[in-house]
Amino acid sequence: MRFDSCIPNRKIMKTVDKYLFQALDNYPYWLEGTIESLDYALSYDDKNTMALCLYGQVFADQLLKYEEAKEYFQKALSINIYALEVYPFYIHTLILNEDYEEAMKLIDFALTVKGMNKTEILLKKIILLERQQEFKKALKMIKKVKLTIINTCYDYTIEESEKRLNKKLNGDSKKDKPAKKKKKNK
């Protein structure tokens, strides 16, 4: 008995993956090709969470149609709650759409999902707190994020977020001081 015969729909799986890889390769530089490849992928497997997630990204990031994007993310998670690829993009979309309470609930849940990139989800929480102008809480969260990272790929993002939050919390005093001096000299 061959190994191939033990795996059902292996040919379909390869075809779906081929179109999914094409869509991922095309995005975001060739949107027409992305959509075409996603349509083919979903025609072979309409429950492919990666394809649904990428469709959601297109609607959120390119078309700014957050409600439609949310539908794609919700569908993907209803198919597989462990579709780890969906959570960061769904959370980001909720934040952009100002669905802050829903975003916080999803963040809290995502942090309980086994295998989740906790650093990425905590960075989304920092963005959410920043959008809500909770700068002190966001800075505290940065300390927590620093404890979760296991490589240097997030260092730049964390450093820049910390600088930005500190500026917002303390006011941009470098810009304020010269303006005050000019007023005093007049």
| pLDDT level of residue 62 (50, 70, 90 thresholds) | very high
Per-residue pLDDT tens over the stretch 23-39: 999 999 999 999 999 99
**pLDDT value, residue 9:** 56
Question: Residues 107-113: contacts with CB within 8 Å, 24+ apart?
Answer: 113/81, 113/82, 113/84, 113/87
CA distance readout (Å), 69 to 60, 96, 111, 124, 167: 5, 11, 22, 17, 32
Average pLDDT in the 122-140 region?
97
- The mean per-residue pLDDT over the stretch 96-101 comes to 98
The amino acid sitting at 138 is A
Query: Quick one: CA torsion of 30, 33, 37, 43, rounded to 10 degrees?
Result: 130
pLDDT at 179: 47
- Give yes or no for residue 186 having a pLDDT over 90: no
Mean per-residue pLDDT, 142-154: 91
For the ranges 25-34, 45-54, 150-159, 170-179, the lowest mean pLDDT is seen at 170-179
**What is the DSSP code (8-state) at residue 167?**
H
Sign of CA dihedral 33, 37, 40, 42: negative
Q: What is the mean pLDDT of the chain?
A: 89
DSSP string, 43-73: HH-TT-HHHHHHHHHIIIIIS--HHHHHHHH
Task: Count the alpha carbons within 13 Å of 36 in the hemisphere toward its beta carbon.
Answer: 7
Q: What predicted TM-score, i.e. pTM, was given to this entire model?
A: 0.84
